[in-house]
Amino acid sequence: MQQVGEAKLSLLATKLRERKPPTLSMAPMIDCVFLLLIFFMVSTTFSPIPGLRVQLPPPGKPSPDKPKGLTVRIANPEPGEYRGTMVLNDVVVQVEEMFNQFINAPEESKNMLIIQSERDVLHEQIVQVMDIAKQAGIDKIGFAIVARD
Amino acid sequence: MALNLAQRRKTNDEDDIPMAPMIDCVFLLLIFFMVSAVMKANPPFTITLPDSSTQHEFTRKKYNLFVNSDGRVSIDDQEMLTLEDMELFIAAHEHQISTLIIKADKRAKHGVVIDVVERAKMRSSKTEGLEIAFAVSEED
């Protein structure tokens, strides 16, 4: 009688064990994953950066031949002003008339614009000149620099 | 009695929404966003980008170069104290930089910007040279 009872008990115990396998609780992990997902979704930006491409010659010695093209020279701004005087082919030009000057330039010189600028000219003015040149269809823009040894 | 309990359990299990496919999807999305996320790194100074009506679009990447109006240079949030530091940094991360985007302040001096461009270009071992872009303001 006692043996039968013990057997029944052990059977019940194994049944119970089979019925309740150990489980991992998934809920906290899913909570964390959701939080991470929301964080990355909110912090990701897909918008591109607007900019102007600068084409530079390959590194090395500058080419000895004089490049053909338009040359704009920009002087350091006078104290108190933020725009320097600009000279295009030995004539002083204002920003407003620059676009027409570029458009009316001879076709063979329109392939490239060389900007010779002094060191204290503001970046804004350079970008403005590049912008006008791109509007006028001049895609190659170069900067004149002094060669270092 | 025992049978009854088992039956109840079974029906209860079937009532649950299956979570596994949803978790799979969430994991996939998580991995996608983690891989594609480019964390925004702000420089230790503020800059105002110049305006331009013509602009080209460049994909947002790590390692942008910032130049402020006082001539301070930083790559992402790391300030470069000398141009030599900057050269070394660019040389070390050359493979991750396809286009070097220079975010220079409106009032930055052209001389500093050109120094930075020249240094960056010299350090690049690519034969065609490093592609360089000047970032402009996002508003039209």
- Among the partner residues B26, B29, B58, nearest to A51 by beta-carbon distance: B58
Residue A103: partners with Cβ closer than 8 Å, 6 or more residues away: A136, A137
Q: Is the dihedral of CA A54, A59, A63, A64 positive or negative?
A: positive
pTM: 0.71
pLDDT category at A35 given cuts 50, 70, 90 is very high
Distance to chain B for A106, nearest Cα, Å: 23
What is the pLDDT, as a whole number, of residue B100? 85
Quick: pLDDT tens for B34-50: 888 877 778 888 888 88
What is the pLDDT, as a whole number, of residue A58? 57
What is the pLDDT, as a whole number, of residue B68? 86
pLDDT category at B28 given cuts 50, 70, 90 is very high
Are B121 and A56 an interchain contact pair (Cβ–Cβ within 8 Å)? yes
Chain B residues near residue A124 by CB distance under 8 angstroms: 50, 106-107
Chain A residues near residue B65 by CB distance under 8 angstroms: none
Are B27 and A33 an interchain contact pair (Cβ–Cβ within 8 Å)? yes
What is the pLDDT, as a whole number, of residue A149? 46
Pick the residue from chain A with its C-alpha nearest to B120.
A59
Judging by beta carbons within 10 Å of its beta carbon (0-12, 13-18, 19+), is residue B109 exposed, middle or buried?
buried
Averaged confidence pLDDT in chain B: 80
Residue B5 has pLDDT above 70, yes or no: no
Chain A residues near residue B137 by CB distance under 8 angstroms: 50
Averaged confidence pLDDT in chain A: 78
pLDDT category at A43 given cuts 50, 70, 90 is confident
Please indicate whether residue A7 or residue A130 has the higher confidence score (pLDDT).
Answer: A130
A79: alpha, beta or left? (left if phi > 0; alpha if psi -120 to 50): beta
Pick the residue from chain A with its C-alpha nearest to B29.
A37
Are B60 and A48 an interchain contact pair (Cβ–Cβ within 8 Å)? yes
Q: Chain B within 8 Å of A66 (Cβ-Cβ)?
A: no
Chain B residues near residue A43 by CB distance under 8 angstroms: 37, 39-40
3-state SS of chain A is CHHHHHHHHHHHHHHHHHHCCCCCCCHHHHHHHHHHHHHHHHHCCCCCEEEEEECCCCCCCCCCCCCCCEEEEECCCCCCCCCCCEEECCEEECHHHHHHHHHCCCHHHCCEEEEEECCCCEHHHHHHHHHHHHHCCCCEEEECCCCCC
What is the pLDDT, as a whole number, of residue B129? 63
Q: ipTM of the predicted structure?
A: 0.71
- Among the partner residues B26, B57, B137, nearest to A48 by beta-carbon distance: B57
Determine the angle formed by the axes of helices A95-103 and A123-135, rounding to 10 degrees. 30
Quick: pLDDT tens for B63-110: 888 888 888 888 888 888 888 888 888 888 888 788 888 889 988 888
Are A54 and B134 an interchain contact pair (Cβ–Cβ within 8 Å)? yes
Task: Return the closest-CA partner of residue B58 out of A42, A56, A54, A114.
Answer: A54
What is the pLDDT, as a whole number, of residue A131? 87
